[in-house]
Amino acid sequence: MDTTISAKKSFRGEDYFGKRPEMSQLRCPICGYDYIHLDKPIYMESHDNYEAMGEFVRGDVIKIPFWCEANHYGYFYFGFHKGMTFYWADEVKDETIKVEIYDAISRLR
Ligand SMILES: [Zn+2]
């Protein structure tokens, strides 16, 4: 079962080694570690009818699998709702889904 968590600390990373202050480093939303890998995003259509995520976002959702080198797995989400966009994350605890995420990310290397 996935556990919904705040993604806020994921976006508090340092700038890119002081060389590109406009760039921030994405971090694990669970532990804050900065060694994090992403898989291809999944686009979830909602037809402006709450079909992607149920009751709390009406519009489409972009879901991005991640793997943290401290052994955390999950998804980042960007969800559209009535003109606004929200972001959050899920921690994946199911071992089968963890393996699927790890394998998919490994294929991208
Ligand atoms: Zn982590």
Ligand 1 centroid to Cα of residue 36, in Å, is 8
What is the spatial distance between Cα 104 and Cα 7, in angstroms, rounded to a whole number? 22
Looking at residue 25, its pLDDT comes to 84
Average predicted confidence (pLDDT) for the chain: 89
For residue 68, how far is its CA from the centre of ligand 1 (angstroms)?
5
| Cβ contacts of 33 within 8 Å, gap of 6 or more | 27, 68, 69, 70, 72
Question: Residue 107 Cα, ligand 1 centroid: separation in angstroms?
Answer: 20
Residue 13's pLDDT is what? 66
Ligand 1 mean position, distance from CA 30 (Å): 5
Q: How far away, in angstroms, is 29 Cα from ligand 1 center?
A: 7
> Residue 31 C-alpha to ligand 1 middle, in angstroms?
4
Above 90 in pLDDT, residue 94?
Answer: yes
CA of residue 73 to ligand 1 center, whole Å: 8
* Percent above pLDDT 90 for the chain: 66
CA separation for the pair 71, 62 (Å, rounded): 23
Query: What is residue 18's predicted lDDT score, i.e. its pLDDT?
Result: 75
| pLDDT tens by residue, 62-82 | 999 999 999 999 999 999 999
Q: What is the pLDDT of residues 26-41, one digit of tens each?
A: 999 999 998 999 999 9
Range with lowest mean pLDDT among 16-30, 44-58, 86-100 = 16-30
Task: For 29-97, give the secondary structure using H, E and C.
Answer: CCCCCCCEEECCCEEECCCCCCCCCCCCCCCCEEEEEEEECCCEEEEEEEEEECCEEEEEEEECCCHHH
Flag whether pLDDT at 1 surpasses 70: no
